[in-house]
Amino acid sequence: MKTLALPSQTVSFGAGSAEIKKLKVESFESPDIRISLVAPNGLIFSTSGGSIAISGSWNAAYRILWTMYISGDLSVKISGIKTLTRVNLLSQKGKLQLHFEECRLKIGNLNLKLYGGIGSWIASYFTSGAENDIKRSIEKDVSQF
């Protein structure tokens, strides 16, 4: 099975920053897909039940009294993914056009695991807050589409 590589990400937090790299989609479970007609000229595409697993590496630098560098590997499992996209079909000058009215994403569960020594062990105590922040950020980014 071929894996899909994702671009590296850099995030800042407080007096630190982290680089997340070598991201690969390890598994993907296709969701249930529904298409509904909406009067007078629209469609709703909705999905539920999808999941994705991603692996990668991370390194972080955080300054308290001195700069502390930690790194390791990570895995992220996202499940219970629900989407809704509402589209209107328009005709402009005889050409079919799609007008996106609404786009929403809801993530049921996001589980982040960090691996790689004592730095990862310490950072793992902060992942539950990061999990919620990541969920909200992804949901917000998709909804602004």
The CATH number that applies at residue 48 is 3.15.10.10
> Which residues are CB-neighbours of 66 under 8 A, at least 6 positions away?
none
| pLDDT at residue number 122 | 74
Res. 3 pLDDT band, cuts 50 70 90:
low
Average pLDDT, the chain: 88
Q: Using alpha carbons, select from 34, 16, 18, 132 the residue that is nearest to residue 74.
A: 18
Could you tell me the residue range of the domain that residue 18 belongs to? Answer: 4-143
> Using one digit for the tens of pLDDT, what is the confidence trace for 85-112?
999 999 889 899 999 889 999 999 999 9
Number of domains in the chain: 1
Global pTM value: 0.79
Res. 51 pLDDT band, cuts 50 70 90:
very high
Segment 20-37 mean pLDDT: 94
